Structure 1
Amino acid sequence: MVAVVELSEGPGTGAAYAKAALGMLPGMRRGGALPDVELVHRGVTVDRAHLARYDRVCGLRLTDALPGTYPHVLAFPLAMRLMSAGDFPLPMIGLVHVSNRITVRRAIDAGSRLDLAVRAVDLREHPRGRQFDVVATASVDGEEVWRGVSTYLRKESAGSRSEHPDPVPSGGAVWRLTARTGTDYAAVSGDRNPIHTSRVGAKLFGFPRQIAHGMWTKARCLAALEGRLPAAYTVEVAFKQPILLPSTVRFTSSPADGGWEFGVHGKRPHLTGAITA
């Protein structure tokens, strides 16, 4: 039986990161299974000024319809609260976001009141550690209009790597990303993980400098395909090699079975994705 916890106001992300840092201290005890709980925040409204800032940071058009990735930002504080809880089986800091699937069931007007729900499911083994899914939904008047599934990996071993790396396509649009790409997205998303905002913070986790947010990259891909997306669609991406900032990358896309296949790459693939109606 899933326990439903209703929140009267949205949780902040700063406190969640502080709790996550404390959770890394030696001797902290953790649960052995994912908590059987769903966090719910009802009647969430969109701040149109914030939506406009998000659109600008991600290269999206300014419209009254929510971009497919925007409800992820609204639900992210709930996910943070869930994953930073003391009984969560894996420490939040150090988790790697390896893939994300979003289903937009219909267009969502910015004036809608959204009921958000988040839970973690399917803790499972992975060749390099353990992974699980965070499932978030947004509903309007009892109808689910959006669903996002984020898969996170906790690396616990080097594991095995593919002997056949993904090919890098030629051509495409050139994107030049500055160091502000990380800090600007952190400001509008609330995801202030230091690997995206600080060279020192990035080095603590093995990166030579800060890296772009995967969900910024996904949103930027949708921006590149605006005007060619169906009214209802599923967009799924796999996050490959991180994009170091600043950096120059290429975006490629091609029609496929009534939808699109797309990717972002430098010398190696950074993201691969597909959109289906």
Structure 2
Amino acid sequence: MTTRKYDDSPGFGSLYAKTVKATLRRAEYEPDSDGLTLELPQATVDQDHLAAYREVTGFAAGPVLPVTYPHVLAFPLHLDLMSDPSFPYKPMGIVHLANTITQLRPIPMHADLDIRVHSGPERPHPKGTIFDIESEVRVFNELVWTGSTTLLSRSPGDPSAHADLLPDPELDASAWWDLRGNLGRRYAAASGDRNPIHLFKLTAQAFGFPRQIAHGMWAKAASLASLQRAKGLPDAFAVRVDFRKPLLLPSRVQFGYKVGTNETDFALYDEKHTLTHLIGKLTAP
């Protein structure tokens, strides 16, 4: 497996240009069968950027990073990986199905981070092929955080393939959130994810949506921030979310959760509780 190291995080301007170029490439190219790992060995946290991320997601200030923040730091490497000529799928049009994060211990907000990203094995899906972008974060050579982003490349799928889904929990609403139309632009500024489906009505309509939609990772972060305010979060835990129906902006949504012995189920629904936007499960050791 080839490893590419960076002295600094790749800039988003060049990354999005590479993403467009990669989407236009010919379909018959030959990918690198050995795979590619991208590493940013000395990532530092910009404290102003962190404050903006906390503000848009709802995480309170504190001495450790929000559990979802390392995903934001790894995201430029995700884009660079998916736009590399060795990557077997065209990046634009890929659908984000799920995300799993495992925090082994809290990460100090001033720590230097070693971030590594690679792609996992593909597998069939009823609507195409799915694969994972795997991220790891180390502090002083200790693995402290992992993330798995599950993505779908649409194509004629395998109707017999098993779609791995979280079960739908029975949850009552514990809070209602009023989401403004500019939420996608605010989260894009804090995360770097400027996919046009999240920004404006016109740019979202170009991709078949009636208006802009919220980022899935914003919904996950806001849900966990809400749980943290309500009941606190353990130091070590795993949390998976499945993204179901797109969350149109502006919108009013219901957030609900249920605490078990070692698990917490949570979900985001539309205002009438008829559509499910996100389902999540937090598991503590």
TM-score when normalising by structure 1: 0.93
Alpha carbons of structure 1 residues 258 and 169: separation in structure 2 relative to 1, 3 Å: closer
1:207 alignment counterpart:
209
Q: Given the superposition, is the C-alpha separation of residues 248 and 3 from structure 1 closer, same or farther in structure 2, using an over 3 Å criterion? A: same
Question: How big is the shift at 1:137?
Answer: 0.7
Q: Does 1:258 align with 2:278?
A: no
Q: Name the residue aligned to 2:87.
A: 88
CA contact (8 A) 1:235 1:275 kept: yes
Q: CA deviation at 1:107?
A: 0.9
Q: Distance in 2 between matches of 1:15 and 1:71?
A: 21
256-265 vs 243-252, greater mean Cα deviation = 256-265
Distance 1:216-1:62 versus aligned 2 partners, 3 A rule: same
Match of 2:124 in 1: 125
2:275 corresponds in structure 1 to 268
**Match in the other structure for 1:62:** 61
Contact 1:5 1:38 in 2 (8 A): yes
Distance 1:5 1:158, change over 3 A: closer
- Partner in structure 2 of residue 22 of structure 1: 21
Match of 1:196 in 2: 198
Secondary structure class of the residue paired with 1:77: helix
Cα distance in structure 1, aligned partners of 2:169 and 2:256 = 13
SS of the equivalent of 2:85 reads coil
Deviations 1:2-52 (A, max 9, x none): 211111111022222222222333645443566611100111111111111
Aligned partner of residue 122 in structure 1, secondary structure: coil
Match of 1:232 in 2: 236
Judge conservation of contact 1:35–1:120 (CA < 8 Å) in 2: no
Q: How many Å apart are 1:220 and its aligned residue?
A: 0.2
Preserved contact between residue 174 and residue 257 of structure 2 (Cα < 8 Å): yes
Tell me the distance in 2 between the aligned counterparts of 1:143 and 1:50.
Answer: 25
Checking the alignment, whether the CA contact within 8 Å between 1:34 and 1:121 is kept in structure 2 is no
Q: When the two structures are superposed, what TM-score results if normalisation uses the length of structure 2?
A: 0.90
Residue 245 of structure 2 aligns to a residue whose secondary structure is coil
After superposing the two structures, state which structure 1 stretch, 144-153 or 220-229, moved more. 220-229
Partner of 1:183: 185
Q: Letter of the aligned partner of 1:246 in structure 2?
A: P
User: For 2:267 and 2:108, how far apart are their aligned partners in 1?
Assistant: 28
Q: Which moved more, 1:215-224 or 1:225-234?
A: 225-234
Counterparts of 1:197 and 1:63, CA distance in 2: 29
Aligned residue in 2 for 1:142: 141
User: 1:45 & 1:167 partners in 2: Cα distance?
Assistant: 38
Deviation at 1:89?
1.1
Q: Is 1:97–2:96 an aligned residue pair? A: yes
For residues 14-53 of structure 1, what are the structure 2 equivalents within 5 Å?
14-25=13-24, 27=26, 29-32=28-31, 36-53=35-52
1:150-201 C-alpha deviation (Å, 9 max, x unpaired)? 0000122488699xx9577443210111111100000010000000112222
Residue type of the partner of 2:128? G
| 1:99-128 C-alpha deviation (Å, 9 max, x unpaired) | 000000001111110000000011121110
Give ranges in structure 1 of 5+ residues lacking alignment.
none
Q: Determine the C-alpha separation between the residues in 2 that align with 1:275 and 1:88.
A: 31
Partner of 2:121, secondary structure, is strand
In structure 2, how many angstroms separate the alpha carbons of the residues matched to 1:112 and 1:139?
A: 10
Choose the corresponding residue for 1:173, options 167, 172, 175. 175
Cα distance change on mapping 1:195 and 1:90 into 2, 3 Å: same
1:112 corresponds to: 111
Identical residues among aligned pairs (%): 41
Distance 1:28 1:176 in 2: 42
Question: 8 Å contact 1:168–1:265 — kept in the other structure?
Answer: no
Residue matched to 2:78: 79
Most deviating of 21-30 and 248-257:
21-30
Show structure 2 runs of 5+ residues with no match. Answer: none
